[in-house]
Amino acid sequence: MEKFFPLHECHVNKVTIIINRTHAILHSIAILFLIHYRLSFFFQHPQNITIPTLPWLLIFVSELILSFAWFLQQACRWCPVYRTVFPERLPADDKLPAIDVFICTADPNKEPSVEVMNTVISAMALDYPPEKLHVYISDDAGSDATLRCTKEAWNFAKYWVPFRRKYGLVTACPDVYFSSSEDDNGDYKDSVFKAERKKMEEKYEVLKQRLRKIVEGHFTINVAINNTRDHPSIIEVINKEEDEVKMPQLIYVSREKRPSHHHNFKAGALNVLLRVSAMISNSSYILVVDCDMYCNDPTSARKAMCFYCDPQTPSSLAFVQFPQTFRNISQEDIYDNRVRFAFKVHWYGFDGVGGPIISGSNFCIKREALLGSFNKQQDYMALKRLFGPSNDFIKTLVEDYKPCFIKDGESSRMSLENANILASCSYENQTVWGSKVGFLYFSVSEDYFTALNLHRKGWKSVYLNPEKLQFLGTSTTNFNDSLIQWTRWTSGPVTVALSRFCPLIYGPLKMSLVQLLCYSELAFMPLLNCLSLWGFAIIPQLCLFNGIPLYPKVSDPNFKIFSIILVSSISKSLYEIITTGEQFKVWRNEWRIWMMRSVTSYTYGCLDVFLNKLGMKEATFLPTNKVTDDEQVKLYEMGVFDFRTATMFLAPLVTVILLNIAAFVGAVVKALVVDDDGHQYWEKMFGQMFLSFFILILNFAIIEGMIIRKDKAKIPLSSTLWSVVFSMFILLIGSVILC
């Protein structure tokens, strides 16, 4: 009997699990003692109460909220797993399933065409049978420039793809390959290779010049021709049947958009790709990649297939999620752009309890999971009520149906006409697209909500993070874009949390309790963090300013409770940073940016959701700006904050810092000069003084931006003056109300 070799393996690090669970238990005990200490205050005799009840209650609520957020976060630490794949054990190419690659672009202003086309070319250069690989680029702006750029990318790919195959290059992206000082071509060091490489590099330089010329001409001459919110559908197969080189299909898709129809953001574009691709290729698996996230490892598709082609893999596996990694991350990474916690800690734990969520990009998903499985006996009229009136699309849902695209000219023409109908803005009317099938529309975070519904139905997912980075993208390199991005990322999950689809009540049909808590943590995290952080940033400071103690004296045994909780939190985060191969400065950066986001992005994201619920504001989706500014990049690489952002973001940050400065300086002056018994005052107010000092030290960059720096990226004087007014108002009104 032939020995079976698995295509993938799952590993469990028992030491990590023991450490995580032990810490969770001990930290929980400390929190219970804290709750007992706070509650005992309310059971004292009224004559013994010397502290106002309101500030005590508010700080207690803040502690409870932060403790609940911590509790939810422990779900992703409960059972982390790590996976290994063996693509060399895959069956022969003729037995591999077909894959459709979806690449979405929405705004040529914010998504540079050179970068987008490099992503397209890298997808076409994947190490996968070309007849089973189909690349779709969705242009939501309907830009003629993007269509022309796509054609130019195809013309270059006809030379690049064979070149990569011939020499076995392990870099699929031409921009990365030609900008690298080292060749990755294995044993090919002879003059023939060098000559071909030089010719290929010259072709790439010509491509870049043509792309830039097309884009510049579009925005200077033809800017009025295309309306990103009002344009017809355009579907064009770029490559032709008579091409000599065996290449993957490349298809340009621009769905119809009209002001009278809601276009449902990225989820709407993906659903159009689902329908259009069904007419052209109807591959069983779909690889979704952002337009700035090029394929760094040509074998990434094969690595995903190691799960789907393994007979030991359950049929309930819906998608394989790869991490999002970025090539322009600086050593300092002051904005935490790599999102280390999510992709190096959280997703491993998610995987151990049923699988991670869809993370926006870099995932390979089974078409059946999004659309369902049907057979020839299915009632066609019932399917039409669900999926729309197209007979041809309904045929693609039937088991074993394969489209006949590019068999002859007439079939091609009819298929494209039908595909254009499927890309119309009115096709989804009176259907269940976006509500029950495809990518779901309820939230602007279609990835979170779609994954929640898939897992709830019993589908599973896995997280794969190989040693070689599979996909590399471009991250934001300035403070403004980072805060805007996180505001958008906040509003999606919070919308779900504050709806009937809240994981805590909508949850498990077939989800485990721990997985449910993982989803709940993601949904409630922004809201819980912004509420608790505002409490810790204001209440103790107001009380410190007015000499009201909220924490026990240093000599009080109860003081150890708060010390243990603080040391426990810092130690655990430091442990995770070290075990994921990072340095101490990463801990500082992550804690600082967590505080900053909590009082800015998380706050505004939650406020956006509340206004939307009240009908005062519509949900919006702004693409992240990926156009780089040399000056901003230089500051980012130096680890210097670029405070050229809106006052709405700066005012909360500066106000919090000013409040802490006022409270801390006032307490020091009172202890050293005013109070007769300075030692007694220090002992009584040490907890609050330490909290303010900790906030100020961790956020010294804001103080530096206000007072020390003189460059253009400092905090503007106008923002500081507004914050001074806000701080004085809070000190005045807060002191009256709380004290």
Annotated binding site: 110-111, 140, 266, 290
Q: Which of 57, 61, 60, 55 is closest to 737 using CA atoms? A: 55
Half-sphere exposure of 727 (CA within 13 A, CB side): 22
Is 556 in the active site?
no
Rounded distance between C-alpha atoms, residue 177 and residue 171, angstroms: 6
Q: How many CA atoms lie within 13 A of 328 on its CB side?
A: 20
Residue pair 245/156 in contact (Cβ under 8 Å)? The answer is no
Say which of 100, 107, 139, 140 is annotated catalytic.
140
- Residue 591 burial by CB count (10 A; 0-12/13-18/19+): exposed, middle or buried? middle
Map residue 363 onto helix, strand or coil: strand
Residue 140: active-site member: yes
Joined together, the tokens standing for residue 356 give 């991670």
Distances (CA, A) of 342 to 336, 348, 518: 11, 9, 12
DSSP state of 390: -
Query: 10 Å Cβ neighbour count for 689?
Result: 20
Which of 655, 697, 571, 593 lies closest to 22 in space, CA to CA? 571
Q: Which helix (H) or strand (E) holds 472?
A: strand 471-473
Torsion-angle region of 333 (φ positive above 0: left; ψ -120 to 50: alpha; else: beta): left
- H/E stretch holding 157 reads helix 144-167
How far apart are alpha carbons 434 and 267 in whole angstroms? 8
- Other beta carbons within 10 angstroms of residue 156's beta carbon come to 22
Kindly give, in sequence order, each residue whose CB lies less than 8 Å from that of residue 684, ignoring residues fewer than 6 positions away. Answer: 549, 553
Q: Spell out the residues 6+ positions from residue 358 whose beta carbon is closer than 8 angstroms to its own.
A: 319, 321, 365, 447, 448, 450, 451, 461
Catalytic residue, chosen from 297, 447, 481, 608, is 447
Q: Are 32 and 564 in contact (CB under 8 A)?
A: no
Q: CB of 550 within 8 A of CB of 691? A: no
DSSP letter, residue 345? I
Q: Which residue do the tokens 């340095």 mark?
A: 583
d(CA 203, CA 114): 14
In three-state secondary structure terms, 601 is: helix
**294-295/471-473 β-pairing:** antiparallel
CA angle centred on 264, ends 258 and 268, rounded to 5°: 95
Which residue numbers belong to the known binding site for UDP-alpha-D-glucose?
A: 110-111, 140
**Residues of the binding site for Mn(2+):** 266, 290
Dihedral angle at the C-alpha atoms of 158, 160, 164, 166, nearest 10 degrees?
A: 60
Query: What is the rounded end-to-end Cα distance, in angstroms, of the chain?
Result: 81
Distances (CA, A) of 209 to 230, 566, 630: 29, 55, 20
Q: What angle do CA 11, 13, 18 make, to 5 degrees?
A: 145
Q: Which long-range contacts (CB under 8 A, 24 or more apart) does 587-592 make?
A: 588/698, 589/332, 589/333, 589/334, 589/336, 590/336, 590/340, 590/341, 591/698, 592/334, 592/698, 592/699, 592/701
For residues 453 and 409, the answer to whether their CB atoms sit within 8 Å is: no
**CA dihedral of 42, 46, 47, 49, whole degrees rounded to 10:** 30
Closest by CA position to 465, among listed 84, 10, 132:
84
The torsion angles phi and psi of 281, rounded to 5 degrees, stand at: -130, -40
Catalytic sites, residue numbers:
140, 447
